[in-house]
Amino acid sequence: MKIDRVTVRYGELRSSGFPSFSNERHELELSAVLEQGETASEVKNVLTSICKNTVKREFGDKKLSENQMDIPF
């Protein structure tokens, strides 16, 4: 099997409660074609970082530092 593209989707749903309930969701999906010398894992990490930072910025959060990144795999 040849992997030639990596796609990452990241989203968050945040709810606020009392006195008025609301949900807000932001999601982003990015894809990249692998260039010679790149690995799927490296590209996944870069795309995940970009997605997380963009979604958090949409909520008004500060940018994550690299060591705060939370990659589940």
| pLDDT tens-digit map of 26-59 | 999 999 999 999 999 999 999 999 999 999 999 9
Q: What pLDDT does 63 receive?
A: 66
Structure tokens at 54: 């963009």
- Work out the burial of residue 52: count CB atoms within 10 Å of its CB; fewer than 13 is exposed, 13-18 middle, 19 or more buried: buried
Percent of the chain whose pLDDT exceeds 70: 85
- pLDDT confidence tier of residue 71, bands split at 50, 70 and 90: very low
Q: How many domains does the chain have?
A: 1
Is residue 24 within 8 Å of 59, Cβ to Cβ?
Answer: yes
Please provide residue 42's backbone torsions phi and psi, each rounded to the nearest 5 degrees.
Answer: -60, -45
Q: 35 lies in a domain?
A: yes
- Higher-confidence residue of 48 and 17: namely 48
Q: 47 lies in a domain?
A: yes
Note if the bond before 19 is cis, omega within 30 degrees.
Answer: yes
Domain ranges, residue 15: 5-68
Q: 73 lies in a domain?
A: no
